Amino acid sequence: MKILVAVKRVVDYNVKVRPKSDGSGVDLANVKMAINPFCEIAVEEAIRLKEKGIATEIVAVSVGDKSSQEQIRTALALGADRGILVETSEELQPLAIAKLLKAVVDKEQPQIVILGKQSIDGDNNQTGQMLAALTGYAQGTFASQITVEGDSASVIREVDGGLQTLTLKLPLILTTDLRLNEPRYASLPNIMKAKKKQLDTFTPAELGVDAAPRVKTIKVEPPAERKAGIKVATVADLVEKLKNEAKVI
């Protein structure tokens, strides 16, 4: 069984994100970058499935500029067998990424595709669902537990009302929730070995996909600073301020 796992290059979650001075985007100069945390969970789950003997090959794929090779190499150091980079400098949006991943899926024919449920930069939570729609594969989103047996998989997913269990036929698209697993760290020997693993590069044109953005970013700015809170003496004072100052009732 082949598993395709998607990884995205994002600003490290420990870094405070700042907009550029002209408001044209996020300032990435000299900023530490990393694999999106939910994508790390996806990589870890693929590796665990291989360790159980369910998967025979793990292919890590990323969409972005040349620097995204770093995140693919990290996935290779963690245990993926080979990597694919769809190289583009376009401002990528969920539908374009889903179309590019669909082209890779058509090329690789994996039985399972695992993605993080969302990225910590765009926070869209759309790519996995769009990919399932484009491929026609079954989908298990927000997975907190995955069990694969034969040609089907049992997926426990977190929903507003609690937990939902789905039994899905392969091929399958999965998106990972935070509680699915805890990612491991790459050892130094594996980091060195990852440098020799196969990494293929394609362009959107070679895959026959138009990755041009459909939405234009006009301006990026930090959120307004919150005002200091105040204490009120009585419930009547609270109601008066909520009604006349905050105007929320």
Tell me: pLDDT of 210 over 90: yes
Residue 25 is predicted with a pLDDT of 87
Percent of the chain with pLDDT over 90: 80
pLDDT at 216: 87
How high is the pLDDT of residue 34?
95
φ, ψ of residue 216 in degrees (nearest 5)? -105, 135
Helix (H, G, I), strand (E, B) or coil at 53: coil
The verdict on whether omega for the bond into residue 171 sits within 30 degrees of 0, i.e. cis, is yes
Per-residue pLDDT tens over the stretch 102-115: 999 999 999 999 99
Q: What is the pLDDT of residue 217?
A: 86
Q: What is the pLDDT of residue 246?
A: 82
Q: For the ranges 70-79, 107-116, 163-172, 221-230, which has the lowest average pLDDT? A: 221-230
> What does DSSP assign to residue 1?
-
Q: Identify which has the larger pLDDT, 172 or 249.
A: 172
Tell me the mean pLDDT in the region 77-100: 95
**pLDDT tens for residues 22-75?**
988 889 888 999 999 999 999 999 999 999 999 999 999 999 999 999 999 999
Domains contained in the chain, CATH given: 2-244 (3.40.50.620)
Residue 228 has pLDDT above 90, yes or no: no
pLDDT at 229: 85
Residue 245: pLDDT above 90? no
pLDDT for res 248 = 86
Confidence of residue 223 (pLDDT cuts 50, 70, 90): confident
Chain-centroid distance, C-alpha 69: 16
C-alpha distances in Å from residue 201, one per residue of 85, 86, 206, 207: 5, 6, 10, 11
- Region for 130 from its dihedrals, namely left if φ exceeds 0, alpha if ψ lies in -120 to 50, beta otherwise: alpha
Average pLDDT of the chain, as a whole number: 94
